[in-house]
Structure 1
Amino acid sequence: MTPIDDLLDQLQRDIPLYGHLTAAIGFKQALVERLGVATAHPAVQAPLQLPGMERLRRLPVRPLREVAQAHGRHWHPLWPGGQVHALPRLQVVGPHDDQPLEVIDRAGYLTCLDEVDVRGRSELLLWRDQVLHDVEGDEAQRVRDQFIFDPQVLHAEADHWWVMDSAEPAPVIEEAFWLGGHHAHDFGHWLTEYLPKLATALRAGWSGGMPVLVDASAPATVRTALTALLPADTPLRLMSALERLHVRRLWCAPNVSYPGFCPLLASDDAAARLLTAPLRMATLIQTIGPRARQALDRPTGIERLYLARRPERHKAIVNHAAVDAVLAAHGFVRVLPEEHPFLEQLNLVRQARFIVAPEGSNALLGAFGGPGKQIAILTSPYTQPLLDLGATAAVLGQSLTFLTGPCAQDSPRHTEHPFWCFWNDYRIDPAGLDAWLADWLATAPAAGPA
């Protein structure tokens, strides 16, 4: 056996459980601790399938905003960041734990930087032998972010990261807009991260006419929709995993909140750093909405819409069959959003008057439905992380109610961890849901003009 056989065995056990990038965190940490950074570098490449990363450099890390404002070829600010926004308590039926708090917004801007290296499935922007990190203030420290989640980062120090890349020059393209990153395979991140970036650029006057760099792992339904949401003559350029490009003029926009690389989220205080300022998110949703409506606006005949969630996914409603039956009895049409192209998903929520959805990306779709929507979200009693969703709905002119049910303690995925309990499976009382729906449907304000 080699000195690292036990680590390789553990890696192979962890990948099916946690995914490749998450499993790699523990492997990198243990390997660096055991061998040191320099010796760990060649040992890590084959197990983690890292082609073209034969060079190891200790690079300084700088905030994207700082570099963009001082050195960007283009700098168009929308709002400065640093403003305090209130998140009031939610409208909840059932047990809940939310308490009002305040969040500080992030800056909104569009920038263009010269001579940047990027990779597929990586968050790193490499500029002048420096790493650009979309971070403001102490966000990363507050959530105990794990930067080695990124496939290019072997080890991270306070202000320097050990970056694996290639000394060979990357293929060059003249100009592009950056819409890639390690979360790009996740549909929910498109609603909360990548589409808001696109909306920021559009609000700042970006007119397209150049390739948009998108990870090939992005959901196909999103990739298809982007061709309709982007300005004319703006093609998608799909990047395979770890594919390298050198962009002479790279356009980019920041996140509306700090999603992190892989935060530990050890406390409620830390989790609050990931909440979004509602006015900012609402503004960006209102930017995407008209473009989606122009691309697809047709009657569906569905006034009462249930955006269902597959029961095998995490945060499941364990008695989903009973819940489905109650909703069907009240005239709700059950739809699995992932079975429909993204533009059709947006059209469904625009055309519906009443929307019910389990908490998750399905519930986020309701925000794109426009003002006047009556929305109910089913979830567990851990409602504190949903404060920004409720506040954003209020800014958008939507009525949003959360219906909670107890966590399913008999579920094999149940946890009492103070943060991760938010993702517990749960039950919804069918009789209570039936009574509440009857009152909700009977007393809702009349529908406004289409």
Structure 2
Amino acid sequence: MTPIDDLLAQLQRDIPLYGHHTAAIGFKQALVARLGVRQAHGPACAALQLPAMERLRRLPVTPLHEAARRHGLHLHTLWPGGQAGTLPPLQVVGERDDSPRTVTDRAGYLSCLDEVEVRGRSELLLWREQVLHDVEGDEARRIRDQFSFDPQVLHAEDGHWWVMDSAEPAPVIEEAFWLGGHHAHDFGHWLTEYLPKLATALLAGWPGGMPVLVDASAPATVREALPALLPPGTPVQLLPHLGRLRVRRLWCASNVSYPGYCPLLSAPEDMDRLLSPPWRLARLLGVIAAAAERALSRPTGIDRLYLARRPGRHKAIVNHGEVDEVLSRQGFVRVLPEEHPLLEQLNLVRQARCIVAPEGSNALLSFFARPATRLCVLTSPYTAPLLDLGGAARERQLALTLLTGPCVADGSALAEHPFWRFWSDYRIDPPALARFLAAWETGT
């Protein structure tokens, strides 16, 4: 046996439960605690199958906006950040746990920096022997962010990260726009993070005409739609998993919210720290909606749309068959969004006048609808994390109601955790749904 066999065994047990990146956090932490940072480097690369990461460096972390202000080749600020606002309660039918919250927005800007190294499926921007981090104030500390979620970070200290990379020169390109990161495989993050970044760049006058760097793990529907949303003559360049590039002039847009690497949330109030101001997100969604409508706008004949979730995924409606039946009787057409290209998904949403969707990426898709569209989101009673989406719906002039049902995992250890319980499966009461739809139809 080796000194870390038990850690390797735990890693293999954790990967199916939490996913590779999340499971790697505990493995890296335990490895560093047992061996020390430098001695943990080799075993971490071997166990996590990290290519071309033979070099380990302790690098200072610099906020992206600070680097852009002081050293950027270009900086266009759309709004300075710091504006506070209140998220009022949601319109909810059923049990709930939301209450008004105050949130503060982040700066919105487009920047360009010289000689930046990037990797596929990594958030790190390596620049002048520093790590650039799109962070403002103490937001990372407040959510106790775990930076070792990123495959390039072995260990994080206050103000410095131990970064694994290669001393060999990376392939060089002259200019590009950065639209990658460790959440790029997730469709929901494209709706709330990456497409809003693109919208920020377009609002700031980014001209296009250069490669847009996109992680190869991005959903196919997104990759196929991007050319229609970009300025003419702007190619999409895919970065393979952990593939390296050095970009002589890298354009970056700020994130409208701080999604974190992997927040360590352990109390109910911690969820509030992930809420983001809706007034900025709503504007950026409108930019993408307008671009999509120019690319594809045709009648669908579907006025009542049900954006269904494929069975077997997390946050499942366990009695989805009964829910489908109720919606069908009320004239809703069931659609699985992932079976359609993204532009067609957006077109379906923008042609509908009444939309029902389970909480998650399907509900997020509904926020591209036209003003005055009625939207019903099916979800569990844990509604507090949805306060910002409720605010975005108001900004987008959507009539949003949440219809909640009980979690089927209540009482389990998972359901008691303030973060993971939000991902629990739940049940929607068919008579309650039928009553709601009847009242919705008559406007009562």
For the superposition of Structure 1 and Structure 2, which TM-score range results when normalised by the shorter chain?
A: over 0.9
* Match of residue 115 from structure 2: 115
Summarize the alignment of residues 50-449 of structure 1 with structure 2, pairs less than 5 Å apart.
50-409=50-409, 415-443=415-443
Is the deviation greater in 126-135 or in 422-431?
422-431
Q: Answer whether contact 2:306 2:327 (CA < 8 A) is retained.
A: yes
1:419, distance to aligned residue in structure 2 (A): 2.9
Contact 2:221 2:342 in 1 (8 A): yes
Q: Does the 8 Å contact 1:187/1:361 carry over to 2?
A: yes
Does the Cα contact within 8 Å between 1:411 and 1:425 map onto a contact in 2? no
2:48 is matched with: 48
- Displacement of 1:270: 2.6
Q: Deviations over 1:118-168 (max 9, x none)?
A: 000000000100000010011111111000000000010010000011111
CA deviation map 1:29-53 (0-9, x unaligned): 1111111111111111111111111
Contact 1:186 1:219 in 2 (8 A): yes
CA distance in 2, matches of 1:202, 1:265: 34
1:213-244 CA distance string (max 9 Å, x none): 00000000000000110111100110001111
Letter in 1 for 2:307: L
Q: Name the residue aligned to 1:448.
A: none
- After TM superposition, give the deviation of residue 414 of structure 1 in Å: 5.5
Amino acid at match of 2:266: A
Q: CA deviation at 1:69?
A: 1.0
Deviation at 1:17, TM superposition (A): 1.8
Distance in 1, matches of 2:42 and 2:172, equals: 27
- Taking the aligned partners of 2:434 and 2:411, their CA distance within structure 1 comes to 24
SS in structure 2 at match of 1:66: helix
Q: Which amino acid aligns with 2:14?
A: D
Q: Distance in 1 between matches of 2:367 and 2:394?
A: 10
1:402-440: CA deviations, max 9, x gaps? 011111137989612233222211111111111110110
Instruction: Specify every segment of 5 or more residues in structure 2 that has no aligned partner in the other structure, as ranges.
Output: none
**How many residues are aligned here?**
444
Q: Give 1:203 shift.
A: 0.3
Q: Does the 8 Å contact 2:187/2:219 carry over to 1? A: yes
Change in 2 beyond 3 A, CA 1:412/1:329: farther
Query: Do the aligned residues in 1 keep the contact of 2:185 with 2:219 (CA within 8 Å)?
Result: yes
Q: Work out whether residues 353 and 373 of structure 1, in 8 Å CA contact, stay in contact via their aligned partners in 2.
A: yes
Distance 1:216 1:342 in 2: 16
Equivalent residues of 1:258, 1:273 under 8 A apart: no
Rounded to whole Å, the distance in 1 between the matches of 2:51 and 2:342 is 33
With 265-274 and 193-202 compared, the bigger mean Cα shift is at 265-274
2-structure distance, mates of 1:16, 1:419: 18
| Deviation readout 1:173-221 (Å, 9 max, x if unpaired) | 0000000001000000000100000000000000100000000000000
SS of residue paired to 1:213: strand
Query: Can you list the C-alpha shifts for 1:350-391, whole angstroms capped at 9, x where unaligned?
Result: 000000001000000111012110000011111111001111
Q: Structure 1 residues 409, 30: CA separation in 2 closer, same or farther (over 3 Å shift)?
A: closer
Is the contact between residue 408 and residue 414 of structure 1 (CA under 8 Å) also seen in structure 2?
A: no
| Greater Cα shift, 359-368 or 258-267 | 258-267
Query: Contact 1:177–1:210 at 8 Å: present in 2 too?
Result: yes
What residue identity is the alignment partner of 2:217?
A: S
Give the aligned partner of residue 447 of structure 1.
Answer: none
Distance apart, 1:269 and its partner CA = 3.2
Separation (CA, whole Å) in 2 of partners of 1:136 and 1:231: 30
| 1:15 to partner: Cα distance | 1.5
* TM-aligned CA deviation for residue 63 of structure 1: 0.5
The alpha carbon displacement at 1:116 in A equals: 0.4
Equivalent pairs: percent with the same residue?
73
Superposed CA deviations along residues 257-287 of structure 1, whole A, max 9, x for unmatched, are 0010011122333322221211100110111
- 1:127 to 1:139, Cα distance in 2 relative to 1, 3 A: same
TM-score by length of 2: 0.98
Task: Please give the alpha-carbon distance, in whole angstroms, between the structure 2 residues aligned to 1:269 and 1:49.
Answer: 36
Query: Secondary structure at 2:364's aligned position in 1?
Result: helix
CA contact (8 A) 1:85 1:278 kept: no
One-letter amino acid matched to 1:231? P
> Residues 278 and 391 of structure 1 are in contact (CA less than 8 Å); yes or no, is this contact kept in structure 2?
yes
Partner Cα distance (1:198, 1:363) in 2: 21
CA distance in 1, matches of 2:265, 2:203: 32
Contact in 1 for aligned 2:410/2:416 (Cα 8 Å): no
Match of 1:144, SS state, is coil
Q: Check 1:259–1:96 CA distance in 2 against 1; reply closer, same or farther (3 A cut).
A: same
Give the letter for the 2:83 counterpart. Q
Q: What CA distance in whole angstroms lies between the structure 2 residues aligned with 1:48 and 1:414?
A: 26
1:31 to 1:414, Cα distance in 2 relative to 1, 3 A? closer
Kept in 1, the 8 Å contact 2:98–2:384? The answer is yes
SS of alignment partner, residue 95 of structure 2? coil
RMSD of aligned Cα (Å): 1.2
1 CA distance for matches of 2:182 and 2:134? 14
CA-to-aligned-CA distance 1:66-90 (integer Å, 9 cap, x gap): 1111110000000000110210000
Q: Is the 8 A contact 2:110 2:253 kept in 1?
A: yes
Contact 2:271-2:418 within 8 A present in 1 as well = no
Residues 260-316 of structure 1 show CA distances to partners (whole Å, capped at 9, x for unaligned) of 001112233332222121110011011111110011101100000000111211111
**Residue 237 of structure 2: SS of its match in structure 1?**
strand
